[in-house]
Amino acid sequence: MKAWVFQGPEQAAWQDVPDPRLMDAADAIVRVDTAGVCGTDLHIMRGEVPDVPAGTVLGHEAVGEVVETGSAVRTVRPGDRVLVSCVSGCGHCRYCRYCREQAYGQCRGGGGWTLGHLIDGTQAEYVRVPFADTGLHTLSHVVSSEVAVLLADIFPTGYEVGVLNGGVRPGDTVVVVGSGPVGLAAIATAHLFAPHAVIAVDLVPARLDAAKHLGADAVVRADEGPEQLVDDLTDGLGADVVIEAAGTPESFGLCTRMVRPGGRVANVGVHARPVTLHLEDLWSRNITVTTGLVDTYSTPTLLRMVEAGRLPAASLVTHAFEMQDAAAAYDVFSSATDTGALKVVLGGQHHDVVAIPA
């Protein structure tokens, strides 16, 4: 089959690789219809995620059709149309048991974020999904592939790591710093909790326009006084919740300056550089700072909301490319300031069958 293969920093190619095969009874093989390109993929391409080895097929978001399952798989079967989650859980360790934490991102049994990271990922004609019972979700025919793929990562991440970790409550003033796909998902899902106001901060006008479309009550460029705007809108108190969705030292510092005493900063962004936590300023302000890797426990709920038309998602996909045009897709997404890209997806032709070795 063909796949988009990482070959080292700033190097990747659409090339022939062996078809995936079942390696465990809990595995499934999925024929990929649509795959997403994530900001984390850009971090990998820049060499900022050093545990991804050269030769890895990238990608951790996809929609497709199950073509084969291992003997232990119970929730899906060949022919099912499915969402491939960015995270899966073994279902047995302390982080994965349904009666405990459902923290699949911290799985100690071989799950967590593996696709396009520790094993071959989804930007390919076919993908092997470990722990298919937690890593796959069957899809209704009413949800398009381009919308469904947004629930593989960005919507659960914005909702769980941003909105829920940040403890958004009715009447809160919420600031989202970074209006990329995950920040936009946080803006959309914050409204589920009836906040007083949601303020979006970014440097890219197209992303601020998208934030308005998804319900931001106010938008401001990061270089045009967001701290003053928040002060003005809160009578000098500061925001109840600030969600960091940009992943830079500057954006994190901005978040800590805009939050009120007793407020919450929820870090969502992937940081490739060290960040200074200014405790000399923060120690007396009763601020809670949370971090997190998405667990995707909310995916079934979010899917039901999309099916019911209660979650705006379709407008986030701005660019679609055939699979073999992955290089162009990455170029467009990495130049979002110029291209206006929000979410970039891949989809294309593949051969008809998976040749599974005996």
Instruction: Check residue 315 and give its pLDDT.
Output: 81
Q: What are the distances in angstroms from CA 88 to CA 91, 247, 259? A: 9, 24, 33
Instruction: Check residue 94 and give its pLDDT.
Output: 73
Name the phi and psi angles at 336, rounded to 5.
-60, -30
Q: Is 35 within 8 Å of 345 (Cβ atoms)?
A: yes
DSSP state of 158: I
> Which residues make Cβ contacts (< 8 Å) with residue 99, sequence separation at least 6?
none
Burial 305-314 (b: 16+ CB within 10 A, else e): bbbeeebbbe
Pairwise CA distance, residues 1 & 344, whole Å: 22
If one counts every other C-beta atom within 10 angstroms of the C-beta of residue 170, the result is 8
Q: Quote the tokens at residue 223.
A: 């270089």
> Which residues make Cβ contacts (< 8 Å) with residue 160, sequence separation at least 6?
292, 294, 295, 296, 297, 298
DSSP structure string for 64-88: EEEEEE-TT--S--TT-EEEE-S-B
pTM for the predicted model, two decimal places: 0.92
CA 137 to chain centre: 16
Instruction: Check residue 313 and give its pLDDT.
Output: 84
Instruction: Say which amino acid occupies 89.
Output: G
Instruction: Check residue 350 and give its pLDDT.
Output: 46
Helices 205-213 and 181-190: crossing angle in degrees, nearest 10, is 30
Name the phi and psi angles at 93, rounded to 5.
-75, 170
Per-residue pLDDT tens, the chain, 358 aa: give them.
Answer: 999 999 999 999 999 999 999 999 999 999 999 999 999 999 999 999 999 999 999 999 999 999 999 999 999 999 999 999 999 887 777 777 654 457 777 877 677 788 999 999 999 999 999 999 999 999 998 999 999 999 999 999 999 999 999 999 999 999 999 999 999 999 999 999 999 999 999 999 999 999 999 999 999 999 999 999 999 999 999 999 999 999 999 999 999 999 999 999 999 999 989 999 999 999 999 999 999 999 999 999 999 999 998 998 888 999 999 999 999 999 999 999 899 999 999 995 444 434 333 3
Between CA 50 and CA 53, with CA 51 as vertex, the angle to 5 degrees is: 95
Instruction: Check residue 101 and give its pLDDT.
Output: 55
Between CA 326 and CA 333, with CA 329 as vertex, the angle to 5 degrees is: 140
Pairwise CA distance, residues 298 & 165, whole Å: 13
Instruction: Check residue 351 and give its pLDDT.
Output: 42
